[in-house]
Amino acid sequence: MAFAMGKYQHIFKKIQDAHTILEPIVHRTRLDHSSTFSRITEGNVYLKLENLQKTGSFKVRGAAYAMSQLTDKEKAAGVIAASAGNHAQGVAYAATRMGIKSTIVMPIFSPIAKIHATRGYGADVVLHGTAFDDALAHAKETSEKTGATFIHPFNDTDIIAGQGTIGLEILEELPDVDIIAIPVGGGGISTGIAIAVKEQKPEVEIYGVEANTAASMHASLEADKLVKVTGMDTVCDGIAVKTVGDIPFKIAKDLFTDSVTVEELQVTRTLFYLLERAKIIVEPAGCVALAAFQHSVIKIKGKNAVAVLSGGNIDMSFMARVVEKELFRLGRSVRLKGVILDRVGTLNKVIELVAESGVSIIQIEQDRSDPDILPNKTECEMILEVPDESAVKKLLKSLEEHGFSFQVFED
């Protein structure tokens, strides 16, 4: 897409101003080179670790800068915001630090961890609607009724400028960057970084990345107009926005090299790989950019490429499910089923054979209720942790040699 040098100079100046104002408020997060993802992609992959930012995401940058620009009268009236979680925490943290009363409207299905964290940062939390857009409308209505200053999560030049400070930090540490991939929700962080980088190095390629089931920016750019998407069936709740902001949309049209989407399973597999190999915890929305690299949606062979990991506020129970499913997919957890005699000592023998094989039992159950199984028998199901496929084959052979017929069961 075409780039007009200087077109966004006014926002670039705000970004430079924000860089100074935010220095004592936010972390300057690491730009971490990843040998693991570099090997996978054949590029030089760097991770901008905004998951380690205060409040667990980049959102505190835009929120803090936007509130620094309020008048004393606006600060006295308090602020209100709508968010699925990360903007909520950013506004709550910055408001409390500045002595400003804050109210946050969140969708009722927001992750519990994000709701508790937002309250913990000092905000009053109101749960309303099933999607971000519902919460947004309610927050705007409340702002008009109460006089509280509305802090938009993305469709505001001060918010965009605050997020754009990430781009300045990337260029300072990696001046020869070729590609930057950024998660896109409403478009604030991606377009802020795009301005910060493009105003200094127009040749750098900027990619916006969305979950394919919630790709409002991608759809809008393809249609050359704002498009509202429906469904929003995605694990990436942090970027599940039905319509991007009109300000970010215009900027993206000018500055994005391309807008791409990733599949849900690509996201969760990248999340798992980050956790296991890099020891980095990232929420699904926060790792879509890296997923685009890992799964070759964006090809970066031989390039210096930065993936912005925008947030780490993941629900622990969800992360546990991701890990469990990936272990099964990779064959490191397996489920065996077989029918054995319902007799004292039979199950003990099965367990003994499993132990001798060097395989660990995670869970074991017997089911006597199946009407298709004879009354003197029971179905035995085991979930096992195994080192590799050969260990499973060895165990099945041992069980068979002792008269037990088990099979690997896949859901």
Please tell me the predicted confidence (pLDDT) of residue 411. Answer: 62
Asked if 162 contacts 192 with a C-beta cutoff of 8 angstroms, the reply is yes
Q: In the CATH scheme, what is the code of domain 332-408? A: 3.30.70.260
Please tell me the predicted confidence (pLDDT) of residue 148. Answer: 97
Strands of 406-408's sheet, edge to edge?
360-367, 377-385, 333-341, 406-408
Tell me the CATH architecture of domain 9-58+156-324.
3-Layer(aba) Sandwich (3.40)
Of the candidates 338, 328, 342, 321, the one whose C-alpha atom is nearest the C-alpha of residue 384 is 328
Of the candidates 339, 336, 408, the one whose C-alpha atom is nearest the C-alpha of residue 368 is 339
Q: Measure Cα distances from 2 to 5, 7, 201, 202, 274 in Å.
A: 10, 11, 14, 10, 34
What is d(CA 143, CA 160) in angstroms, rounded to the nearest whole number?
21
User: What's the predicted TM-score (pTM) here?
Assistant: 0.90
H helices of 103-156, in order, are: 112-120, 132-146
What is d(CA 117, CA 311) in angstroms, rounded to the nearest whole number?
14
Please tell me the predicted confidence (pLDDT) of residue 2. Answer: 43
Please tell me the predicted confidence (pLDDT) of residue 136. Answer: 86
Predicted confidence (pLDDT) per residue in 280-320, tens digit: 999 999 999 999 999 999 999 999 999 999 999 998 889 99
For the annotated catalytic residues, the residue numbers are: 59, 310
Q: What is the residue-wise DSSP string for 241-280?
A: -SS--HHHHHHHHHH-SEEEEE-HHHHHHHHHHIIIII--
Predicted confidence (pLDDT) per residue in 181-225, tens digit: 999 999 999 999 999 999 999 999 999 999 999 999 999 999 999
Q: Give the start-to-end residue ranges of the domains of the chain.
A: 9-58+156-324, 60-150, 332-408
Please tell me the predicted confidence (pLDDT) of residue 231. Answer: 77
Of the candidates 345, 305, 346, the one whose C-alpha atom is nearest the C-alpha of residue 170 is 305
Query: Which DSSP symbol is given to 40?
Result: H
Of the candidates 273, 321, 324, 325, the one whose C-alpha atom is nearest the C-alpha of residue 294 is 273
SS3 at position 378: strand
What is d(CA 65, CA 290) in angstroms, rounded to the nearest whole number?
27
Segments of the chain scoring below 70 in pLDDT: 1-5, 411
Q: In the CATH scheme, what is the code of domain 60-150? A: 3.40.50.1100
What is d(CA 365, CA 382) in angstroms, rounded to the nearest whole number?
7
Give me the residue label for tokens 């430079």: 16
Please enumerate in sequence order all residues whose Cβ is within 8 A of that of 203, keeping only pairs 6 or more positions apart, or say none: none
Buried b (16+ CB within 10 A) or exposed e, 208-242: bbbbbbbbbbbbbbeeeeebebeebebbbbbbbbb
- The percent of the chain in helix, strand and coil, each rounded to the nearest 5, is 45, 20, 35
What is d(CA 320, CA 385) in angstroms, rounded to the nearest whole number?
15
Q: Look at strands 360-367 and 179-183 and give their pairing.
A: unpaired
Please tell me the predicted confidence (pLDDT) of residue 113. Answer: 77
Query: Which DSSP symbol is given to 148?
Result: P
H helices of 42-187, in order, are: 59-68, 72-77, 86-98, 112-120, 132-146, 157-173
Q: Do the domains 60-150 and 9-58+156-324 match in fold?
A: yes
